[in-house]
Amino acid sequence: MTSAEGQRQANGTHQPTERSPLLASNHGSDTQIIETRNGEQETQPQDDNDTPLAKEPSFKYLLVIVATVWTGSFFAALDTTIVATLAGPISSSFDSFTLYSWLASAYLIANAAFQPLSGKLTDIFSRRSGLVFANLSFAIGNLICGLAKSPSVMILGRVVSGFGGGGLQTVSVFVVTDLIPLRRRGLWQGFGNIVFGLGMGLGGTFGGLMNDRLNWRWGFLIQVPFFAINALICYFVINIPVKSTDKARWKRVDFLGSFLLVTSLVLLLIGLNTGGNQVPWTHPLILTTIPLSFVVLAAYIYVEACGVPEPIIPVRLLTRRTVFWACFTNWFGAMSAFTALYYLPLFAQAKGESSARSGLRQIPFAAGTSLGSLSAGYIMRLTGRYRYLTIFISSILLLSGILIFTTLNFTTPDWKAYLYLSFSGFGYGGLLTVTIVAMIAAVDHIHQATITAASYAFRSTGSSIGITISSAVFQNLLTKSLCSRFASHPHADQIIRRIREDFGSINRIGVPGSGIPEEWRQGVVKSYMDAFKGVWATLLGMVVLCALSSLLMREHKLFATLERK
């Protein structure tokens, strides 16, 4: 030990080095009292290394870092709406409308599987490693999708992309959280959501153009070099030090907890996505996977409660009131947002619009999301408060926007549809920013990456479940409506099956070789509208639950410095 090191230890201080943790050590107390805005106090365990580095990075370095991580977020968002727009043509090319929901669900299941792990794993192996892995996974997944010759290979590609997408979304937030104080974090999160919203807005149009001018495969293949290049940039630019301990890094990984948590999520989502789409809800697969997922989840909770040194997600954090209800606010909000995101292009294509034109309908929602996120972040920076802002956003803006959104039908003028979507997007964007800041404010600094990962896991599972529920509603109502109108017609079963499996058939009614008689046109269009109305009603129910959850969150102080003073 050098004399300087001895002096630092004698003084009880520790100077950061390249191998030092992001969070400085504090052994003086094992509890921390957090005072909420309403005067209530919460006692929470105080872990070692729970105080962040006091020195903030230079603005120039910060811009380089966030530009790098937001580039990946931009392309991940671009991919989301590209696939949402291309889902119809892809399903039709494989003659499998059941593939429509799996294109989203396979991606979101992989998201949900990786995101809970990303916080602790990047705490151990570094943010840089997480970003490189995420970018390369996305590149490989898109390459598989672009070359896929069967639905099963297509789904595999979406799973691989989902691992990458989960990492890009969460690790980019971890990096911003590491470097920016809580009071200003909402504003920076707002800027990040603008980048994300820009990608979402452009993706639908871009995907539609690829399909109309070339074919849907180029919507995936053209992204591959961008993700590969960004992985290389992340390797050289991102250099945030990780926590140093005497243990080897792999020994710090909670393998059993990781396995149980991922298995529980995957079993649940496979059961929910398969039931009603590919097999009946009474099928043995469904009756096995869903109950088993809860058994495995209980095993995970038991294992984590037994005192794992570094749990993937400490269960006790999720029991805090603000964290608990913010997670469910995110859960129901993501259900509604992704239901709208995936069924809007389908709705537009049912009206006879091209893929490119239907993709334009996602721009107002993306623009509203970006503006809402930035506005919420700016208000939190000025006031240092978020609870009443959350209630206003979720209970008034988002709920009102979705309420008028449910009035959409095939005769609604385009300008009204765009207005409804931008209003709904504004509410959803604000909700995303406020809830993530609220969750981080409710825990000590060392858990902020872990709790952020949990938040995104709730979003991913909510997104997947939302699409699953809406897909089941759509398919059941469409089948019921078609059967009620055409069951007595010759060859009705075959024609109805063709309409359900090939969405593009609605625009080929009466065309020679389509197999669908011209006299069916009006009835088929009405049947589709019946199905869409059922989806809109389901969407409204999701938003009501989102608003109710937001009412139960507490106010916590938003600190103005990294050391939370």
- Predicted confidence (pLDDT) per residue in 230-281, tens digit: 888 888 887 776 665 545 666 667 778 778 878 887 888 778 777 766 677 7
Check residue 11 and give its pLDDT: 43
Instruction: For residues 431 and 397, give the distance between their C-alpha atoms in angstroms, rounded to a whole number.
Output: 10
Instruction: For residues 528 and 480, give the distance between their C-alpha atoms in angstroms, rounded to a whole number.
Output: 11
Check residue 354 and give its pLDDT: 66
Domain boundaries, the chain: 59-239+249-253+310-476+535-550, 255-309
Q: Angle, to 10 degrees, between the axis of helix 321-350 and the axis of helix 448-486?
A: 40
Please write the tens of the pLDDT for every residue from 126-139. 788 888 988 899 89
Tokens, residue 211 = 């399909």
Please write the tens of the pLDDT for every residue from 367-414. 788 788 778 877 877 777 777 776 777 667 777 777 777 777 777 777
How many CB atoms neighbour CB 383 within 10 A? 12
State the average pLDDT over residues 304-332. Answer: 80
List the alpha helices (DSSP H) in 310-413: 315-318, 321-350, 355-360, 362-383, 387-391, 399-405
Check residue 350 and give its pLDDT: 74
| Cβ pair 354, 209 in contact under 8 A | no
**What are the distances in angstroms from CA 543 to CA 105, 392, 438, 462, 539?**
20, 13, 19, 12, 7
**What are the distances in angstroms from CA 111 to CA 138, 310, 357, 439, 532?**
11, 22, 29, 20, 27
Instruction: For residues 366 and 386, give the distance between their C-alpha atoms in angstroms, rounded to a whole number.
Output: 22
**Residue 140 pLDDT exceeds 90:** yes
Instruction: For residues 530 and 477, give the distance between their C-alpha atoms in angstroms, rounded to a whole number.
Output: 7
How many CB atoms neighbour CB 444 within 10 A? 21
- 172 closest CA partner among 186, 192, 190, 155: 192
Percent of the chain clearing pLDDT 70 (strictly above): 78
Check residue 144 and give its pLDDT: 92
The DSSP-derived string for 201-231 is HHHHHHHHHHHHHS-THHHHHTTHHHHHHHH
Widest pairwise Cα distance in the chain: 94
**Residue 544 pLDDT exceeds 50:** yes
State the average pLDDT over residues 143-166. Answer: 86
Check residue 1 and give its pLDDT: 46
pLDDT band at 143 (very low <50, low <70, confident <90, very high): very high
Check residue 559 and give its pLDDT: 56
Q: Which class for 537: exposed (0-12), middle (13-18), buried (19 or more C-beta within 10 A)?
A: exposed
Domain 59-239+249-253+310-476+535-550 in CATH 1.20.1250.20: yes
- Mean per-residue pLDDT of the chain: 75
Q: Which amino acid is at 356?
A: A
Query: Distance from first CA to last CA of the chain, Å, rounded?
Result: 33
Check residue 41 and give its pLDDT: 41
Check residue 563 and give its pLDDT: 54
Q: Residue 417: which residues within 8 A CB-CB, separation 6 or more?
A: 361, 408
Per-state percent for the chain, helix, strand, coil, to nearest 5: 75, 5, 25
- 116 closest CA partner among 243, 265, 291, 241: 265
Q: Which amino acid is at 267?
A: L
Check residue 241 and give its pLDDT: 66
Higher confidence at residue 347 or residue 276? 347
Please write the tens of the pLDDT for every residue from 448-483. 777 777 787 788 788 878 887 888 888 888 888 888
Check residue 182 and give its pLDDT: 64
* Site of tokens 């996120």: 373
Tokens, residue 409 = 């039908």
- 144 closest CA partner among 86, 224, 250: 224
Q: Which amino acid is at 58?
A: S
| Cβ pair 323, 443 in contact under 8 A | yes
Check residue 14 and give its pLDDT: 41
